[in-house]
Amino acid sequence: MPAEMSTETPTYRRRLLERTRKVGNSLCVGLDPVLQKLPQVEGSPADRIRRFYADLLEAMAKRRLYPAAVKPNIAYFEALGIETLEVLRQLTAEYRSEGIFVVLDAKRGDISTSSGAYATMAFETFAADGVTVAPYMGSDSIGPFQQKAKAQGIYVLVRTSNPGARDFQDLTVDLGQGRRLPLYRVVAEKLVEWDRGDLGAVVGATAPRELEELVVFWRSLGKEIPMLIPGISVGGIGQGGDIKEIIRAIRNAGGDSNLHLFNSSSGVNYAYERFSGMDPAEASLKAMEELLKGMG
């Protein structure tokens, strides 16, 4: 029996592999509700968002077409008030009840006591399977998430998909003894040091070369860190990351695509904009099918 599938105490890494193998894909669908783009125009913001994502889940269940995970970006829910945060909590429970992992995209990170509170929010209040965190404050901002996690994942920002990523992440760090690495590689190395089967890395789909190098790097250290890979476009909607290129990069590096989550948000959420007359939830499923085809 493979180590990841053993009867030992579960880790997030093991749970993730079990999930992707069971559902047969590593697709992650971002839940980013932009109110102006939601097709329903009646009701409060909370009602409209709940209907939109409840309809999507119902369509998934009817077709038995599920992603491995969803990734709600908490900022979109926070921006619209307390009622909308309660909707997020409800949606998290409902998606998880169908076996879908929920990775809360919160990008939190602070001094240890504050990080502990953020971890409680993610892992207990919202009962998420994973959360994104920022590593800028070092190990004592990551450690509290690890202490609170119960086979839940902590995805640390490493090489992100935004244009400004190079402002800091590509800066060269002199580690002494002739070792010089870009800052994102220093973070990537720290993940191997800190990992207890609970850490992952956020690596943007718009940086396929760096992504491939990271997989090679981690494997050379004896541990392939799970990646959450945002920025994948479908049908021309999204940040421009190409699913086929990303899959090819991981395979070139000798990586296991079952270990990584490939995220598309706008391209799935608002696929109805390019499928005229199609039900919004069905259009989202069609976009998911396109991504799955690209994943091979």
Residue numbers annotated as active site: 107
Phi-psi region of 236 (alpha: psi -120 to 50; beta: other; left: phi over 0): left
Q: What is the C-alpha to C-alpha distance for residues 280 and 56, in angstroms, rounded to an integer?
A: 8
Beta-bridged to residue 159, according to DSSP, are: 203
Closest CA to 184 of 198, 168, 197: 168
**CB-CB contact of 102 with 86 (8 Å):** no
The stretches of the chain forming alpha helices (DSSP H) are 12-23, 45-63, 74-78, 82-97, 112-120, 139-148, 166-169, 183-194, 208-220, 243-252, 266-269, 280-295
The dihedral over CA atoms of 218, 214, 130, 62, expressed in degrees to the nearest 10, equals -110
Residues 6+ apart with CB under 8 A from 26: 20, 68, 257, 258, 259, 260, 261, 262, 295
**What crossing angle do the helices spanning 208-220 and 243-252 adopt, rounded to 10°?**
30
Residues 6+ apart with CB under 8 A from 77: 33, 49, 84, 85, 87, 88
